[in-house]
Structure 1
Amino acid sequence: MKKTSFIKEVKENLPSGLVVFLVALPLCLGIALASGAPPLSGVISGIVGGIVIGILSNSHISVSGPAAGLAAIVLAAITELGSFELFLCAGIIAGVIQLVLGFLRSGSISNYFPNNVIEGMLAGIGIIIFLKQIPHALGYDKDYEGNLSLFETGYNIESVINYIQNLPTTIHLGAIIITLVSIVILLLWERVEPLKRLKMLPGALVAVLSGILINEMFVRMGSSLAIQSEHLVKLPIPKSFEDLRGMVVTPDFAGFANSKIWILGVTIAIVASIETLLCIEAADRLDIHRRITDTNLELRVQGIGNIVSAFIGGLPMTSVVVRSSANANAGATSKLSTVIHGILLLVCVVTIPMLLNKIPLATLAAVLLLVGYKLAEPSKFKHFWEKGKYQFIPFVVTAFAVVATDLLKGVGVGLAISIFYILQGNMKRAYYYSREELGEADEITIKLSEEVSFLNKAAIKKTLKNITPNSKVIIDARNTAYITVDVVELIQDFTNVRAKEDNITVELLGFKTSYQEYAEDQHSHISIDHKKAM
């Protein structure tokens, strides 16, 4: 029975694993190039992320590998240290710190990321993926695969104009033909029912094979449409096992005596952990079954992955939105898809690097164009618009902040907007009246909400300040389950001092009989006794 279940799971996840493999291969190579590291180091990181983290993690959709967000840190570190072997020690340190963070249950902070911010982050990443793949689709490849900075000089009118003006100068007709053919194939595989049933033959594989065949045809014809090596996957080709072994770099353990490497390890651990937690939340949102990942376990697993990767010459890794999105989009149902992609990376890089080097980046751009569109499709913006401004504004601000800056800064801006609305919402209470309303009324009733925290103190204070002399005030706490001592003291001071001086009659409903009860309640958070007087 278990064997049948496993076979079924393989059938369900082999196509998605293959798609992620095709997407991950150029990303691993591109990020290694941008990091100033050996090309194989990115692939090693992808293999470990697929096999080791795939097996140990309980995330069903997330895919780990070398992260674009760490590329700048790695490049600066390797440049300063002058040695990739020394840098690998920082990867080991980062992995150990992540292990410790996992055991300290630091992953629970991901529970405080609002859904609209996570969805905004996904939409922003989708926009970046789409826009960054347009040059690759046209035949321009100076920008490395996996780069998630839309404008290298920052987001401004000049950078946008330069981006648009440079597009026509990058056009290669052969790349455009392959891109268009690939997109047609991918759309047919999604929408034509007989083709959709071909689960073991994913559209991405057909598109890639078609891209290879079309370009080989152009090459043999001697056509100007032929795509040259600069627009193809570039994987190092070992001529023997000794060559392959020589490409694998191991750590120089003398680096552990260098204080700079320890600081670098801590930096990588913090950035990688935050990116992983954000991506795990995003992956759970992409999971059609809405399964929840144990983020504390994920941090521990990421730590193990980074230790293993660094020991065998791989780059630091995180959970990665681009690969996870491609995985979900391809129909993955379990983490077996991630493991399959890692196995394919290992087997294909060792056995058929020459064939992989014939894959046009244009056909992979077609796959990612559709992934990007689905992450940021207009219906998502409409969905949050219909939820109201308190959901829509943090969503759209996060999306465009991610595009204008980077993932971490964009999410930070989105969180700040969300917190602002949370604070604003907490301070809005039915018990606040304007000065004019208070002035016209002889009797005022202030009904406290179910929970009254220090955030409500300012609104209550303003209300009490605006109550006119010779009036009557009823402060009703009968429906209140919790009230902070700060607010209790504020009401006591008003009742015992101001009310007596201004001849204001105060009636208190639902309050406890002693201050001590409130002090104890701050820790126990038990319900307020319904008394008629304080």
Structure 2
Amino acid sequence: MKSDLHYYLKNLKHDLPASMVVFLVALPLCLGIALASGAPLFSGVIAGIIGGIIVAWASGSHLSVSGPAAGLTVIVFNGIETLGSFNAFLLSLVIAGIFQIILGYLKAGLIGAFFPVSVIKGMLAAIGLILIIKQIPHATGYDTSFDGDESYMQETAKSSFFELVDALEGITPGALIISGVALLILIVWETRLFKRSSLLQLIPGPLVAVVWGVAYNILVLQYAPEWAISQRHLVSLPELGSVENFINQFRMPDFSNLANPKVYSIAATLAIIASLETLLSIEAVDKLDPHKRIAPTNRELKAQGLGNIISGMIGGIPITAVIVRSSANINAGGQTRISSFFHGVLLLISVMFFAEYLNQIPLACLAAILLQIGYKLAKPKLFIEFYHRGWNQFLPFAITIAAILLTDLLLGITIGMAIGIFFVLRANFHEAMTLTTHGSHFLLRLHKDVSFLNKALLRKHLSAISNDSELIIDGNKALFIDQDILETIADFLLAAPDRGINVEIQGFSAYCVIPSSGH
């Protein structure tokens, strides 16, 4: 314990400045993701606080940061709409947390390895496109049919597209200026010129975008009120000022929905996607960690499950390990979990005592931040890259995106997984064995694992062997040969002499499965 304390104290000079950077990145993201999820803005900050103060210590990762994730916005939005209230959704979140802890004890930390990369990237690209579609109304200051609970935006891109067209007809000039300049700031902040400056890199681009939006609105309110942002297009957090007021803002799950089967289906979806996103983020953080520490994945699932149970019990949105904040932590020089912990403390202090300042942030600023995240998830370069990888990779990727946009996240991923598995089996089917011919000499080579799925292909190859020929069946490269394959070869060996085919087997034995009646 003393050595741990000494280790944390020794790295405090690195962790405290990093925690400030992570806080500045996290605050607008917590608010923006809650906005995109159709949840109360306060719930996003609660999730960020729990991710920092609690999950940081429960997790086995030193550098990952947990909080609300853009990848879950579609599920949260759809869940609130389906269950009819945010409190009913909180019950799903608590159950999802329990599912995650069970997954951790079942040692399901390897679950991420069973999802094809093309399907995962397709899921993230689809979420990016949905984020872009859903945030354009906030970026344009959509005033035609604005609801504070975001219920005017539907959960799928198919229905959101028509809202998008309407949003372009209800533009508020001030909001468009704020989001346009904020986007420009975010883009410029990531150019090589700005990245060369170590001083500028200490200031997060999202923070600069937020400061710009607040400054613009304060100035135009004084000198050109017609270009200002109205109150309903600003962040709206309760001004607390005390611990008691903070606790009074908590929202409890609606336990009267325990008998509703939809609660459990949403919980299962949340648990699977949140766990997958966490495992992918942890894998990425381990690669970025300068000390090359490996986080225990099963412990991570338990930690995220605990975080989601607490978040659901007090009114927060779902939590996962998140790569954007984790990357900011590593780039800012964070060394231990102290940096993630203190970012949670700073979020807590800001929402308790500085809400009046946070309420001056225009929603258009947060929309610009989310538009950039959406673009990064679904950038054109990604589509080109998968196209060049071939149809086996591109089709599962593209079909996953289309399925999610036209249905919902869970069904879309299920369709993508089915397509992905089909292409894996198809590739295995064709690569398991090859037949080469030279005159009356044939070579049938078995590669890697040859399962019963390849029996039809084997029969096809064996039927292509002409009469009065020489055949070599080479199994030296095969790591595994299924019993069905051995029996098919044994049957061929019995019939081969009648057709004048001389067979030589290398690397395995097939005689042991020849039926005794054949002797």
What TM-score, normalized to structure 1? 0.79
Partners of 1:198 and 1:462 in 2: CA distance: 65
CA distance in structure 2 between the partners assigned to 1:431 and 1:240 by the alignment: 71
Q: What is the letter of the counterpart of residue 248 of structure 1?
A: F
1:276 counterpart = 2:274: yes
Note the C-alpha offset of 1:4: 4.9
Q: Indicate if the aligned counterparts of 1:232 and 1:357 stay in contact, CA closer than 8 A.
A: yes
Give me the whole-angstrom Cα distance separating, in 1, the residues matched to 2:339 and 2:26.
Answer: 8
Matched, 1:372 2:374: yes
Contact 2:432 2:449 in 1 (8 A): no
Tell me if structure 2 keeps the 8 A contact 1:149–1:405.
Answer: no
In 2, Cα distance between the equivalents of 1:150 and 1:421?
A: 35
Q: Which residue of 1 aligns with 2:225?
A: 223
**Structure 1's 338 and 239: CA in aligned 2 closer, same or farther, altered over 3 A?**
closer
Tell me what 2:449 maps to. 451
- How far off is 1:212 after superposition? 0.9
Amino acid at match of 1:449: H
Among residues 120, 124, 136, which one is paired with 2:126 in the alignment?
124
Q: Distance in 1 between matches of 2:92 and 2:124?
A: 30
Distance between the aligned counterparts of 1:143 and 1:455, measured in 2?
55
The amino acid of 2:318's aligned partner reads M
Long gaps (5+) in structure 2: 1-5, 515-519
Whole-angstrom CA distance in 2 between matches of 1:139 and 1:112? 42
CA contact (8 A) 1:27 1:146 kept: no
Q: Any conservation in 2 of the 1:13–1:333 contact (CA below 8 Å)?
A: no
Amino acid at match of 2:507: G
Q: How many residues align?
A: 495
Q: 2:512 aligns with which of 501, 511, 515?
A: 515
CA distances 1:80-136 after superposition (whole Å, capped 9, x unpaired): xxx94x876665444333322211112322111222332333333223323332222
Structure 1 residues 179, 251: closer, same or farther in 2, change over 3 A?
A: closer
Q: Tell me the equivalent position of 2:288.
A: 289
> Quick one: which amino acid aligns to residue 68 of structure 2?
G
For residue 265 of structure 2, what is the aligned residue in structure 1?
267
Contact in 1 for aligned 2:27/2:45 (Cα 8 Å): no
User: Structure 1's 147 and 405: CA in aligned 2 closer, same or farther, altered over 3 A?
Assistant: farther
Residue 113 (structure 1) aligned to one of 99, 115, 134? 115
Q: Tell me the distance in 2 between the aligned counterparts of 1:176 and 1:89.
A: 37
- Structure 1 residues 303 and 147: alpha-carbon distance in aligned structure 2, compared to 1, 3 A threshold: farther
1:472–1:240 distance in 2 versus 1, CA, 3 Å: closer
Tell me, yes or no, if the aligned pair for 2:137 and 2:164 is still in contact at 8 Å.
no
Contact 1:182 1:207 in 2 (8 A): yes
263-272 vs 375-384, greater mean Cα deviation: 263-272
Once the two structures are superposed, what CA deviation does each residue of 1:424-455 show, in whole Å capped at 9, x if it has no partner?
A: 1111148555xxx98x9533221222332222
Equivalent position SS for 2:203: coil
In structure 1, distance between residues paired with 2:34 and 2:118: 30
| Residues 277 and 88 of structure 1: CA distance in aligned 2, closer, same or farther (over 3 Å) | closer
Report the CA distance shift for 1:138/1:329 in structure 2 as closer, same or farther (over 3 A): farther
Distance 1:124 1:13, change over 3 A: farther
Unaligned runs of 5+ in 1: 518-534
Which of 49, 60, 63 is equivalent to 1:47? 49
Cα 1:397–1:373 change in 2 (3 A) is same
CA contact (8 A) 2:156 2:405 kept: no
- Cα distance, 1:354 vs. partner? 1.7
Q: Deviations over 1:32-65 (max 9, x none)?
A: xx46xx7645543342233212332245445333
8 Å CA contact 1:448–1:476 kept in 2: the answer is yes
Following TM superposition, by how much is the alpha carbon of 1:482 offset from its aligned partner in structure 2, in angstroms?
Answer: 2.1
Distance 2:65 2:173 in 1: 36
Instruction: Give, in whole Å, the separation in 1 of the partners of 2:328 and 2:412.
Output: 24
Aligned partner of 1:428 among 412, 419, 430: 430
The percent of aligned pairs where both chains have the same amino acid is 35
Q: 1:251 to 1:505 in 2, by over 3 A?
A: closer
CA contact (8 A) 1:155 1:404 kept: yes
TM-score by length of structure 2 reads 0.81
Cα deviation, residue 495, structure 1: 1.0
Does the C-alpha gap of structure 1 residues 473 and 203 become closer, same or farther in structure 2, counting only changes over 3 Å?
closer
Partner of 1:494: 492
In 1: Cα distance, 2:165 partner to 2:77 partner: 27
1:526 corresponds in structure 2 to none
Q: Does 1:467 align with 2:469?
A: no
Q: Distance in 2 between matches of 1:167 and 1:77?
A: 26
**In 2, are the aligned partners of 1:21 and 1:342 still within 8 Å (CA)?**
no
